[in-house]
């Protein structure tokens, strides 16, 4: 009996290993192909001393998955990219960081279309790339019908909110930028059964008192009503300027007074 | 056994209209279609029969028979109020009708867009009934029907999910309609955005019983897919409607109206107030999803599967109020 059990256990674990190997190889191949598309043939090293990626194991809502990338250590980082490997448009956001960016967390809400690795990739000032990854179980996020219940929400397209925290540390302002935008993925059906054409945030630029916080390149992997959290270095009375351009070339500009 | 293939299937998780179609692999299909048995009904009042849905998410084993379904028999005809969550579910409801009456099935009412309530409709096609829904339902089905069907087919297997049937008799929000089953009138009310944007309720004038659809969940954690504040308004209206007994979309076949409304009002008020406070305080959405409304946890089945999503749904809307 004991021996039978052993054999069974071995068989089970053997099969499990085989599955895991297959899957690992599949994920690795997908990442290589996606990384080549985005970063070319450049080498990408382990980034666990530069970045910490927080992703839920399983999403509660695949069309709105909150994730965060924490910048750790002190090597200068110029760019942070978030890549959702198995999404139809994997690059969710590429942040070119400016002098007014505080080295802390970047948080965003993304869509996840199927079970996938998510990668965060940092580029250091010497032009090298470093990546960390996390697997997530979620599906259907890109094709999930848009959640807007009434027409008034379309009327607020392009409206923005800047939610800032007053902290005791005067050298940085924890901030969350909310942009009202459907960020249509092109995979969502509408009331007539047609696919709503893709219309997504292409570029989000944030500066304070003329100093750049970041320029972000977006995509369909950002959730509806995108939300981006970061911290910036205040510049006296300098106001915060947010410029947004979507893939239909619509531009939205908003200024926010310095936090008093 | 092909473990890799099974793993692929079981990897699917889909969020369908706030209803979780969880990761259970499809079972062998051979016995499925032939095994339709009449659904177990409860006659809650003369001529009103209700099938209580399971307190589960859709799996291959339960054919998505998770919503309360019902039919009302009049002198001349029968009306179905929610045909079920799959072809199999619809067929077993139809068998239950035919075990009781041979009157024509004249109306099939679709209470809202969610898969567990509508995908049995195709089982009634041969009866050529009039399919009835909220005026918003055709657009909602156009936008979501294929998405829901794909998600459900991954769980139940291809062929088990009925086609999407679009209602032809539509009820507008400001204009209740009436169906006549022969000396038995049913009043249809199309509600403001609440559980979904396509909620329709059915009042049987003879008994005074209201089929509330998913405006009412009893015991099972409600899923928010429409408008939290709107739902609270509709609950207040139901509370004050004078209707004493109701068939909820999920829960026991018949309950006193106050017993159904009060817990929902309490939960949604807690959800709304705590979500507003979290937004004001800057609590991140991912933290809110796991920390808000937990005082409600003892009161609801499947709370952990739905409360976090409800928080996310409430949060994303309330931050733009």
User: ipTM of this predicted complex?
Assistant: 0.86
User: Is the distance from CB of B199 to CB of B111 less than 8 angstroms?
Assistant: yes
User: Is the distance from CB of A120 to CB of A93 less than 8 angstroms?
Assistant: no
Q: How confident is the model at residue A22 (pLDDT cuts 50, 70, 90)?
A: confident
Distance between B95 CA and the closest CA of chain A, angstroms: 33
Distance between A63 CA and the closest CA of chain B, angstroms: 9
Does the CB of A176 have a partner CB in chain B at under 8 Å?
A: yes
Instruction: Identify whether B21 is part of a domain.
Output: no
Given a cut of 90, whether residue A99 has pLDDT beyond it is yes
Query: Position of tokens 């059915």?
Result: B202
User: Is the distance from CB of A206 to CB of A101 less than 8 angstroms?
Assistant: no
> Which residues are CB-neighbours of B61 under 8 A, at least 6 positions away?
B24, B27
Query: Position of tokens 């320029």?
Result: A215
Instruction: Identify whether B304 is part of a domain.
Output: no
Query: How many structural domains are present in chain B?
Result: 1
What is the pLDDT, as a whole number, of residue A4? Answer: 41
What is the pLDDT, as a whole number, of residue A1? Answer: 38
Instruction: Identify whether B280 is part of a domain.
Output: no
pLDDT tens-place string over residues B218-246: 999 999 999 999 999 999 999 999 999 99
Q: What backbone phi and psi angles, to 5 degrees, belong to B8?
A: -55, -45
Q: How confident is the model at residue A153 (pLDDT cuts 50, 70, 90)?
A: low
For residue B317, how many other CB atoms are within 10 A of its CB? 20
Q: What backbone phi and psi angles, to 5 degrees, belong to B151?
A: -65, -45
Helix (H, G, I), strand (E, B) or coil at A39: helix
Vertex A183: Cα angle to A180 and A184 (nearest 5): 140
What is the pLDDT, as a whole number, of residue A14? Answer: 40
Does the CB of B284 have a partner CB in chain A at under 8 Å?
A: yes
Please, how many CA atoms are within 13 Å of residue B242, restricted to the half-sphere of its CB? 4
Instruction: Identify whether B46 is part of a domain.
Output: yes
> Cβ separation of A138 and B13 shorter than 8 Å?
yes
User: Is the distance from CB of B165 to CB of B125 less than 8 angstroms?
Assistant: yes
Given a cut of 60, whether residue B17 has pLDDT beyond it is no
Q: How confident is the model at residue A159 (pLDDT cuts 50, 70, 90)?
A: very high
Which of the residue ranges A228-232, B15-19, B132-136 would you say has the lowest mean pLDDT?
A: B15-19
Radius of gyration, CA atoms only, chain A: 21
pTM over 0.90: no
Six-digit token string for A145: 């019908």
What is the pLDDT, as a whole number, of residue B25? Answer: 39
Q: Which residues of A touch B12 (CB under 8 A)?
A: 139
| Rounded Cα gap, residues A41 and B230, in angstroms | 53
> Cβ separation of A61 and B14 shorter than 8 Å?
no
pLDDT tens-place string over residues A109-132: 999 999 999 999 999 999 999 999
What is the pLDDT, as a whole number, of residue B27? Answer: 43
pLDDT tens-place string over residues B235-274: 999 999 999 999 999 999 999 999 999 999 999 999 999 9
Given a cut of 50, whether residue A236 has pLDDT beyond it is yes
Given a cut of 50, whether residue A9 has pLDDT beyond it is no
Does the CB of B7 have a partner CB in chain A at under 8 Å?
A: yes
| CA B317 to the chain's CA centroid | 22
Given a cut of 70, whether residue B1 has pLDDT beyond it is no
Do β-strands A51-54 and A65-71 pair in parallel, antiparallel, or remain unpaired?
antiparallel
User: Which residue among B142, B226, B286 sits closest to A192, beta carbon to beta carbon?
Assistant: B142
Does the CB of B89 have a partner CB in chain A at under 8 Å?
A: no
Given a cut of 50, whether residue A184 has pLDDT beyond it is yes
Share of chain A above pLDDT 90, in %: 75
Instruction: Identify whether B2 is part of a domain.
Output: no
Quick one: CA dihedral B121, B127, B132, B137, positive or negative? Answer: positive
Q: For the domain that residue B106 is a member of, what is the CATH number? A: 3.60.15.10
Does the CB of B99 have a partner CB in chain A at under 8 Å?
A: no
Distance between B147 CA and the closest CA of chain A, angstroms: 7
pLDDT tens-place string over residues B302-313: 999 999 999 999
What is the pLDDT, as a whole number, of residue B35? Answer: 64
Instruction: Identify whether B313 is part of a domain.
Output: no
Buried b (16+ CB within 10 A) or exposed e, A149-187: beeebeeeeeebbbebeeeeeeebbbbbbbbbbbbbbbb
pLDDT tens-place string over residues B21-74: 433 334 444 344 446 899 999 999 999 999 999 999 999 999 999 999 999 999
| Rounded Cα gap, residues A13 and A26, in angstroms | 20
Does the CB of B112 have a partner CB in chain A at under 8 Å?
A: no
Q: Which of B10, B138, B142 to substitute to test the interface with A, most A CBs within 10 Å?
A: B142
pLDDT tens-place string over residues B168-225: 999 999 999 999 999 999 999 999 999 999 999 999 999 999 999 999 999 999 999 9
Q: Which helix (H) or strand (E) holds A67?
A: strand A65-71
Does the CB of B147 have a partner CB in chain A at under 8 Å?
A: yes
Helix (H, G, I), strand (E, B) or coil at A125: coil
User: Which residue among A149, A192, A193 sits closest to B197, beta carbon to beta carbon?
Assistant: A149
Given a cut of 80, whether residue B292 has pLDDT beyond it is yes
pLDDT tens-place string over residues A36-47: 999 999 999 999
Which of the residue ranges A7-16, A71-80, A224-233 would you say has the lowest mean pLDDT?
A: A7-16
Given a cut of 90, whether residue A3 has pLDDT beyond it is no
**Nearest-CA neighbor of B95 among B118, B127, B66?**
B127
User: Is the distance from CB of B285 to CB of A223 less than 8 angstroms?
Assistant: no
Given a cut of 60, whether residue B5 has pLDDT beyond it is no
Does the CB of B20 have a partner CB in chain A at under 8 Å?
A: no
What's the domain range around B209?
Answer: 37-256
Instruction: Identify whether B293 is part of a domain.
Output: no
Instruction: Identify whether B157 is part of a domain.
Output: yes
Given a cut of 50, whether residue A60 has pLDDT beyond it is yes
């Amino acid at each position: 009996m004991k021996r039978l059990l052993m054999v069974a256990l071995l068989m089970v674990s053997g099969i499990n290993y085989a599955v895991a190997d297959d899957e690992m190889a599949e994920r690795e191949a997908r990442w290589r192909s996606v990384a080549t598309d985005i970063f070319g043939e450049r080498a990408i090293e382990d980034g666990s001393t530069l970045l910490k990626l927080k992703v839920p194991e399983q999403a509660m809502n695949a069309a709105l998955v909150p994730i965060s990338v924490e910048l750790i250590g002190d090597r200068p980082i110029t760019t942070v990219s978030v890549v959702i490997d198995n999404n139809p448009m994997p690059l969710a956001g590429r942040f070119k960081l400016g002098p007014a960016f505080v080295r802390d967390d970047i948080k965003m809400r993304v869509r996840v279309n199927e079970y996938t690795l998510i990668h965060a990739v940092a580029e250091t000032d010497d032009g090298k790339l470093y990546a960390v990854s996390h697997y997530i179980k979620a599906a259907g996020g890109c094709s999930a019908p848009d959640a807007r219940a009434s027409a008034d929400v379309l009327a607020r397209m392009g409206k923005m909110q800047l939610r800032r925290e007053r902290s005791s540390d005067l050298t940085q302002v924890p901030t969350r930028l909310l942009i009202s935008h459907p960020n249509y993925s092109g995979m969502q059906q509408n009331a007539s059964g047609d696919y709503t054409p893709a219309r997504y945030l292409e570029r989000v630029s944030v500066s304070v008192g003329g100093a750049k916080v970041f320029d972000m390149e977006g995509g369909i992997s950002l959730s509806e009503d995108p939300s981006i959290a970061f911290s910036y270095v205040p510049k006296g009375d300098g106001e915060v300027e947010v410029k947004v351009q979507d893939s239909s070339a619509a531009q939205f500009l908003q200024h926010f007074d310095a936090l008093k | 056994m092909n473990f890799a293939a099974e793993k692929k299937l079981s990897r699917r998780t889909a969020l369908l209209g706030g209803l979780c179609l969880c990761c259970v692999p499809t079972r062998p299909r051979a016995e499925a279609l032939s095994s339709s048995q009449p659904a177990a009904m409860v006659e809650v009042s003369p001529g009103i029969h209700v099938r209580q849905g399971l307190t589960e998410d859709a799996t291959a084993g339960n054919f998505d028979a998770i919503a309360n379904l019902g039919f009302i028999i009049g002198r001349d005809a029968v009306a179905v109020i929610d045909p079920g969550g799959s072809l199999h579910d619809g067929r077993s409801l139809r068998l239950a009708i035919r075990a009781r009456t041979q009157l024509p099935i004249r109306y099939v009412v679709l209470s809202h867009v969610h898969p567990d309530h509508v995908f049995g409709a195709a089982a009634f096609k041969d009866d050529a009934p009039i399919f009835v829904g909220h005026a918003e339902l055709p657009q909602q089905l156009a936008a979501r029907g294929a998405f829901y069907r794909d998600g459900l087919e991954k769980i139940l297997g291809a062929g088990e999910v009925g086609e999407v049937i679009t209602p032809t008799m539509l009820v507008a929000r400001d204009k209740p309609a009436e169906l006549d089953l022969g000396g038995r009138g049913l009043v249809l009310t199309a509600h403001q955005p609440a559980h979904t944007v396509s909620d329709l309720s059915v009042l049987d004038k003879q008994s005074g019983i209201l089929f509330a659809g998913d405006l009412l969940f009893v015991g099972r954690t409600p899923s928010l897919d429409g408008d939290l504040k709107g739902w609270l308004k509709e609950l207040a209206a139901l509370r004050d409607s004078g209707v004493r007994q109701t068939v909820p979309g999920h829960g026991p076949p018949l309950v006193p109206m106050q017993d159904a409304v009060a817990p929902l009002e309490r939960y949604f008020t807690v959800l709304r107030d705590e979500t507003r406070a979290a937004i004001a305080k800057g609590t991140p959405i991912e933290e809110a999803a796991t920390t808000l409304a937990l005082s409600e946890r003892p009161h609801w089945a499947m709370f952990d599967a739905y409360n976090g999503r409800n928080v996310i749904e409430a949060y994303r809307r309330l931050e733009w109020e």
